[in-house]
């Protein structure tokens, strides 16, 4: 639904997308001449997101979220306001998603409805939670690093196997 709206709305560039204007390097506007500053920024953002997720999981909000997840009626009986807890979770999720989207737009300097609202976005968001575990922080991070479309050596490395050093499939002779 959102993809159909984005593709047909002229204000967001229709099916052509939007180009983020960059005339020169301006760190104040999150525009850099090289890729190294972006690496450090995403490393800091990822670390902060993991730390925030871990901290929330061990806070009152985290326990409230777990109670609402397990049994909403029992949580409300125990004094947890389920609506407020869900709204806080939604706001935090939206905040972290907005940070990621802002980084994406500034790094690639282009926003396209097909890429932004395509099925790969949904699969890319759900796969780490399914593979790494919905109730873990580091499991999702590990699954995310292994599930990105990339050369097969990364997936093999995450599985503990060694990547082949050549394309040769001939068996080696052993005496």
Instruction: Examine residue 152 and state whether it is found in any structural domain, yes or no.
Output: yes
Q: Please give the structure tokens belonging to residue 103.
A: 């980084």
* pLDDT of amino acid 31: 78
Inter-CA distances, 99 with 59, 145, 156, Å: 22, 19, 30
What is the pLDDT confidence band of residue 74, given thresholds at 50, 70 and 90?
very high
Instruction: Examine residue 148 and state whether it is found in any structural domain, yes or no.
Output: yes
What is the pLDDT confidence band of residue 11, given thresholds at 50, 70 and 90?
low
Domain region containing 64: 32-110
Q: How far apart are CA 103 and CA 64, in angstroms?
A: 30
Q: How far apart are CA 29 and CA 130, in angstroms?
A: 36
Residue 43 has pLDDT above 80, yes or no: yes
Residue 95 has pLDDT above 50, yes or no: yes
Say yes or no: 104 and 136 in one domain.
no
Residue 143 has pLDDT above 80, yes or no: no
* pLDDT of amino acid 146: 67
Where does residue 65 fall: left (phi above 0), alpha (psi -120 to 50 degrees), or beta otherwise? Answer: alpha
What is the pTM assigned to this prediction? Answer: 0.65
* pLDDT of amino acid 59: 95
Structural domains of the chain, count: 2
Q: Please give the structure tokens belonging to residue 53.
A: 């997720």
Instruction: Examine residue 165 and state whether it is found in any structural domain, yes or no.
Output: no
Percent of the chain clearing pLDDT 70 (strictly above): 61
Residue 56 has pLDDT above 70, yes or no: yes
What is the pLDDT confidence band of residue 112, given thresholds at 50, 70 and 90?
confident
Say yes or no: 39 and 53 in one domain.
yes
Instruction: Examine residue 96 and state whether it is found in any structural domain, yes or no.
Output: yes
Say yes or no: 154 and 118 in one domain.
yes
What average pLDDT score do residues 71-92 get?
96
């Amino acid at each position: 639904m959102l993809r159909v709206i984005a593709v047909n709305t002229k204000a967001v560039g229709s099916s052509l997308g939007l180009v983020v204007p960059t005339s020169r390097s301006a760190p104040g506007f999150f525009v850099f001449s090289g890729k190294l500053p972006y690496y450090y920024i995403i490393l800091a953002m990822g670390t902060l997101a993991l730390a925030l997720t871990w901290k929330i999981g061990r806070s009152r909000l985290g326990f409230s979220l777990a109670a609402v997840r397990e049994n909403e009626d029992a949580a409300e009986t125990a004094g947890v306001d389920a609506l407020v807890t869900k709204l806080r979770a939604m706001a935090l999720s939206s905040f972290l998603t907005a940070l990621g989207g802002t980084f994406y737009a500034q790094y690639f300097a282009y926003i396209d409805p097909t890429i932004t609202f395509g099925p790969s976005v949904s699969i890319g968001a759900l796969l780490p939670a399914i593979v790494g575990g919905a109730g873990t922080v580091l499991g999702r991070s590990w699954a995310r690093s292994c599930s990105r479309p990339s050369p097969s050596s990364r997936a093999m490395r995450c599985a503990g196997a060694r990547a082949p050093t050549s394309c040769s499939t001939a068996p080696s002779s052993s005496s």
